Amino acid sequence: MNWLDDVKWDAQGLVPVIAQENSTGDVLMFAWMNREALQKTAQLGRAVYFSRSRGKLWFKGEESGHVQTVHDIRLDCDNDVVLLKVTQQGHTPGIACHTGRHSCFFQRYQADGQGGAWHSVEPVLKDPESIYK
């Protein structure tokens, strides 16, 4: 049996993936993989995702240069979520988000008297306009 058969793929043949920074434990991003993306990630030692909006493989950093080197690939207890432990390349500190931030999870909910709001709590490290040409 192929190790990829152990993954519980959804109806579209995808599995959710969390990218976590190997050195700090920071959660950098969430994405999707299909079977081919997970296989290529394991073969290449670099993150390859599946872009649902473009309907094709997405080699992280192919446009931005912000490649993710993969150190560890883990599968959760239900076999339906993949965790990648990565080193984010291309900038110091690494930029994982298309907004030019270290992590895609840069918005924090803060309660207030009117129901609360989301606030950006991480700086833009590089202008996205200069990353994506």
Per-residue pLDDT of the chain (133 residues; tens, 9 = 90+): 699 999 999 999 999 999 999 999 999 999 999 999 999 999 999 999 999 999 999 999 888 888 999 999 999 999 999 999 999 987 677 899 899 999 999 999 999 888 899 999 999 998 888 887 6
Number of domains forming the structure of the chain = 1
Enumerate the β-bridge partners of residue 110: 117
* Residue 99: Cβ-neighbour burial (10 angstroms; 0-12, 13-18, 19+): middle
Handedness of CA 21, 27, 29, 33 (dihedral sign): positive
What is this structure's pTM? 0.89
3-state helix, strand, coil in the chain (%, to 5): 15, 35, 50
Structural domain range at position 77: 3-131
CATH number at residue 114: 3.10.20.810
